[in-house]
Structure 1
């Protein structure tokens, strides 16, 4: 008889993993001429090699990108064409960096950006792409830090929270040193979760949390249809609202490792139920999601929570109109541009208009009987001084009409005026002032293009359109003044007239209000416009005319977008100024 005896065998160190204090990290950062590795080039590489908290070496060099550095990149990084003129090209720098990083674990903040540039240059110059393990400190921070601890996971924010000895300043070596401090702080944090090795660190990034595992049952009764889902707490308060073409699959994904957002994992810990709202079509689900978020203001949604807080730029209704920033659209003869998400964006657009048009900038109401000393703008030729009686109503009306046309129809004169000023400032190497004008012009043109596109639909009393459904039928929608009034699905082979007539008869009655958005928030009308642009959509009936101004802002928007091409992925932009 043969007896089998199971003998326990102690695992080897390789099986247990590499302790984090024995891992050699190369923490690196790149500066570039833009955000796309296919179209832009590296201008600087900075890297720090560390192991067990000890710095083993540094790598830093400027790189000649072989092209001019855009002025707005110079403003952000401080790297000029003159600085890189004598620097080595990337084909000389790349082998040295790859050798410096050989056999290590690469670390970067927003690693896909930096690693993407390295891989693209390896491919371009005949080197195999680095096979090093990669740790993304931005991704790691999103998994271990809550919204209460940090408002965002930008490098500058984390460096401040973790009291880095180096302040990030958009220079490669300084940012790499700050990332080293952030990495060490995050490794301390994950140690509390029992993460001690590189393998455990990589597994931690991919693993669902205990709360996600425990609450998977919340997705059990969700139907596989288009609609909206609402995560609710024990009191029935909405915590988070989302939408999907397949509710069941989308809700299930919240309880898997693919859901890594810290605030959402926190929300799952509080949630007690998920309420599904079945919709007829994907567009209806998208619109209902926006309306529910605006109505319930769930604390874990970030977008569209306060649609009522938008602001407008108004050309006032008075004898001598002026540009005023307002929060309410009234039924008057004023001209409105917007909506803007912040007053700062509206101020940028107003500054762009003031640069091109000599409108008065004082806030007092002026009549033909007003007589008071003019301000310095009159002496500079920037205002005709109607307050002093130098300019009459008819003479001033020319400027007000030009402003009205620039806001509603043709932004060309404003674009030309600011473009000429930017050229002059750039020639004088006053790049930061030119960047300010560029951002003001971008806000103005993009907002004008958006409003013209919105009003092309909101001015139509009723539009009926249809798109092919997956089963061969048709999804039909009734839109009134830019608001979704009804949605339904017509089965395959059915005659359309009865379905369309029934849908129109039961559609919501929409009474338009004043202004460019008379019946719906901008996001809802934009959802409808995106759907109308999708392939296969057919117009069934249109009451009125659907058109855009021939010389509208849409013709200028591509030039604005090219000025920011690729930059925003690495340098996220607020309404008036780009930041990394």
Structure 2
């Protein structure tokens, strides 16, 4: 039991908590006129922008731009912008800083445009030409929104002029930047008003809209009423009380409500809305506790509408057996047998690749024979190819074979340099011979091995620690967690005014008892331990108490992974 009253294997991903009210969001509605449709070849002739918040216009920006090229006749016919009009206008290198300053005048600005990829494409191209970093504003596209919300039967098309007339916008679009931006403001407000009855009230929901909510979704919106606003886990249930879907959130009420709005576009979740009859909230003291509880509940109940984390028992590991002549094996269960393991891997294919990487570096046997001093076994073809020393017929002595097995164990649990060197050298040879596909195969095998070795080494290090307490400051106080052998044993928040010593004593005394075990993650799901590790690795987290040693090998798989990534990046750059 846990607690007091921005990739890990199997961890469910989810949409971020939805929380920026539309009424408090600053939108900058932008429109550009250009000499053509290609952002790389054409140039901007006019910029218009309107800043709005809560339905109120806060400012406007508009200017002609000297494109530095001739304006085609058809563009002049469309926009009315002539060569003489832009002859005295500032060039883009002078206008661009003004545009970006207008966008940045308010914090957390959201960029809005009708057919946004067109306008943002030209701005990005201008930034690139003039050596300016594109700020990467969040974008809302009114054309995409209109296509999602207004079927063709309701409007004859989704052009800006058609939508402006449909919503009764007083400004008529005329292919002049500022007027078109003003018209887009009216269209944006019309679309937002249309989304109101559908339950969309935040920026995140607005950007997620793909189509209107189904009738089943709208009918179940009441299920979010009365849910707490704090962090926790929510369980959707059917009429029999069976779990349908499990998720987590920093704000239970807001997150559950989003499932019944236009922001929820996943087909399986929309289908689930038809059979949902209840929501069970499980309040948690911290978001880490919520994440851990979510994993545990999904693994236990296996709700049908969850895609990830449902079957952690299907993860694969690579094991070096402990018999007299050890061999590598892909297994599903980590046993208390003293064997080294690497993983977990999401698929047996990835585990097989890691196994092949080890076999490339070490001539271990691949047969499954049980050796006997009285029974002679004929060597297999691998011995003839030099990939096995043939201990089966006595060609390779037990002592010699043990050297290879010990080296493989070291690579799995400590320094994987032997595997890395064997692969990088051969990859270089293959690349020099233009045998790129074979080189890529070895590269993928090495990457799979390093991933599994890194995970196992990180998991094993924290699993060896019998007791650890850490804290991180949050808006409510200090989130404090007790971790025992890699398992989250307790979680609570030290609030201002509370005696820290008494708080810690109580938290530690009531934390779950977790005995030691064998393997990289003996007392928790590997995904849970990786969540704990990520939380502990955050620079804001402070260690309060550690019983035992929490260490990783100096020349670990993680160190080699970072070096390999750096080397690949250097090679790509060259």
TM range (shorter): 0.5 to 0.7
Unaligned runs of 5+ in 1: 1-26, 29-41, 43-94, 104-110, 145-186, 566-580
Q: Pick from 411, 414, 432: which aligns with 2:416?
A: 411
Contact 2:143–2:158 (CA under 8 A) maintained in structure 1? no
Q: Pick from 297, 318, 322: which aligns with 1:317?
A: 322
Q: Distance in 2 between matches of 1:309 and 1:248?
A: 33
Is 1:438 matched with 2:443? yes
1:259 to partner: Cα distance:
2.1
Contact 2:343–2:451 (CA under 8 A) maintained in structure 1? no
Q: 2:296 maps to what in 1?
A: 291
Q: Distance in 1 between matches of 2:312 and 2:280?
A: 23
Q: 1:373 maps to what in 2?
A: 378
Is 1:268 matched with 2:228? no
Q: Secondary structure at the match of 2:326?
A: coil
Q: Distance in 2 between matches of 1:353 and 1:540?
A: 39
Q: How does 1:161-172 map to 2 (within 5 A)?
A: none
Summarize deviations over 1:111-169 as a string: whole Å, max 9, x none. Answer: 9999988874454236999x997988xxx9xx99xxxxxxxxxxxxxxxxxxxxxxxxx
Contact 2:460–2:519 (CA under 8 A) maintained in structure 1? no
Structure with the greater relative contact order (CA < 8 A, sep ≥ 6): 1 or 2? 2
Q: Distance in 1 between matches of 2:216 and 2:568?
A: 41
Q: CA 1:447 to 1:127, structure 2 compared with 1: closer, same or farther past 3 Å?
A: closer
Q: 1:68 maps to what in 2?
A: none
How much is the aligned-residue C-alpha RMSD, in angstroms?
A: 3.7
Contact 2:365–2:388 (CA under 8 A) maintained in structure 1? yes
Q: TM-score, normalised by structure 2?
A: 0.65
Q: 2:402 maps to what in 1?
A: 397
Q: How does 1:116-135 map to 2 (within 5 A)?
A: 120-121=124-125, 123-125=127-129
Q: Distance in 2 between matches of 1:135 and 1:381?
A: 64
Q: Secondary structure at the match of 2:421?
A: helix
Q: Distance in 2 between matches of 1:363 and 1:135?
A: 63
Q: Distance in 1 between matches of 2:514 and 2:359?
A: 37
Q: CA 1:209 to 1:560, structure 2 compared with 1: closer, same or farther past 3 Å?
A: farther
Q: 2:359 maps to what in 1?
A: 354
Q: Secondary structure at the match of 1:556?
A: helix
Q: 2:284 maps to what in 1?
A: 279
Of 352-361 and 492-501, the range deviating more from structure 2: 492-501
Summarize deviations over 1:77-97 as a string: whole Å, max 9, x none. Answer: xxxxxxxxxxxxxxxxxx99x
Q: Secondary structure at the match of 2:273?
A: helix
1:410 to partner: Cα distance:
0.9
Q: 1:422 maps to what in 2?
A: 427
Q: Pick from 546, 559, 568: which aligns with 1:555?
A: 559
Q: Secondary structure at the match of 2:263?
A: coil
Q: CA 1:338 to 1:115, structure 2 compared with 1: closer, same or farther past 3 Å?
A: farther
Q: Pick from 503, 508, 524: which aligns with 2:507?
A: 503
1:376 to partner: Cα distance:
2.1
Unaligned runs of 5+ in 2: 1-36, 41-70, 80-114, 164-187, 192-208, 570-574
Q: Distance in 1 between matches of 2:545 and 2:118?
A: 50
1:494 to partner: Cα distance:
2.3
Summarize deviations over 1:445-492 as a string: whole Å, max 9, x none. Answer: 111112111111111111111222313x32221111100111122221
Contact 1:368–1:393 (CA under 8 A) maintained in structure 2? no
Contact 1:320–1:367 (CA under 8 A) maintained in structure 2? no
Q: How does 1:75-154 map to 2 (within 5 A)?
A: 120-121=124-125, 123-125=127-129
Q: Secondary structure at the match of 2:402?
A: helix
Summarize deviations over 1:382-432 as a string: whole Å, max 9, x none. Answer: 111101101111111100000000001011110111111111222222222
Q: Distance in 1 between matches of 2:503 and 2:410?
A: 42
Is 1:456 matched with 2:461? yes
Q: 1:512 maps to what in 2?
A: 516
Q: 2:107 maps to what in 1?
A: none
Q: CA 1:440 to 1:211, structure 2 compared with 1: closer, same or farther past 3 Å?
A: same
1:441 to partner: Cα distance:
0.9
Q: 1:197 maps to what in 2?
A: 157
Q: Secondary structure at the match of 1:344?
A: helix
Q: Secondary structure at the match of 1:354?
A: helix
Q: Secondary structure at the match of 2:281?
A: strand
Q: Secondary structure at the match of 1:363?
A: coil
